[in-house]
Amino acid sequence: MSNVRFTEQPLSEWMRNRGYESDIVISSRVRIARNLQHLAFPMLATNSQSEEVLAKLQDVLQDERLHQFGQMHTLLLDELDELDKEVLVEKHLISPNLANESRSGAVLISEDESLSIMINEEDHLRIQCLYPGFHVQDAWEKATAVDDIFESHVDFAFDDKRGYLTSCPTNVGTGLRASVMMHLPALVLSQQINRILSAVTQVGLTVRGIYGEGSEAMGNLFQISNQITLGQSEVEIIDNLHGVVLQIIEHEKSARQKLISESRLRMTDRVMRSFGILSNASIMDAKEAAQRLSDVRLGVDLGLIDHLSAPALNELNVLTQPGFLQKTFNEHMERGERDMYRAKLIREKLGK
């Protein structure tokens, strides 16, 4: 498989599948942060130290145990242009931090793109596993297996009292961030979302937008993740997230059932209006596109639309991002131009 595919194909292989509760949980992700012992962390490292980290971690790829996760492909950030980096961020294969600030940065990506290993990001090593639907336990088991392979080759920075040491104090301890991306339109429409999300923060979890910390929750998509990495074991973190997400799923299902039973005509009108606007608009900004696509996704999940699939909507969500728009039409675009081409692309895709 050519490395070019990672920046030219909008839909990762893992995104083509529908996992457990995938009408509400879009994806599950586990990320593990690690640093090498006796080497300066990335923010303080010299170029030669960063190159040494890259060489040490790339050597681990020779371990045959990694073959169980498929062929791994190496992309060096210095060899990518800014647009390709933006596209990798939009596909959640690298972080904005790695795209913008790393020295001797690289990402190792599996064939199906469900496993990406970032080198010289905020920490020396970030292992990330992605699954469709609600499979946070599976993502954790895969991530920790990869972590064990790396730890058999290199010594990680570790303190007997504090656990794994990381650049950001909020990751010290387990170095584990587990998250699920949830589509919660019914809770938003029924004005229950603030109460639910407020309760989430009371149990050691946090809510972010689709690209993590500092990003906006557009299109009724919310990323729920653990906030505590110190003082809890990995199993406790996963179990806490799992239990809370199950409750949110039940609240969203109940809200959807109430909307369709009490306001079916109104919901049908909302969904079809959004579909009609997406199918005919000449200009569409990112925020409106996300909201309209959220309405259509809800319509698919409620059985109000039967000619669209979840993977098709996943693809549209990626294709309409700024980087992919420019990649698709092979030209640099200012904001106004992107809005025009976004509308054009959506019309073409829905027309098919």
Q: List binding-site positions.
A: 27-31, 92, 126, 177-181, 208-213
Taking CA atoms, 290 is separated from 185, 193, 316, in Å, by 12, 18, 9
Q: Which of 274, 263, 262 is nearest to 299 (CA)?
A: 274
Residues 72/61, Cβ–Cβ less than 8 Å: yes
The binding site for ATP consists of 27-31, 92, 126, 177-181, 208-213
DSSP 186-240: HHHHTT-HHHHHHHHHTTTEEEEBTTBTT----TTEEEEEE---SSS-HHHHHHH
- C-alpha–C-alpha distance, residues 8 and 16, integer Å: 16
**CB neighbour class for 330 (10 Å; exposed up to 12, middle 13-18, buried from 19):** exposed
Residues 287/218, Cβ–Cβ less than 8 Å: yes
Name residue, tokens 């199918």: 279
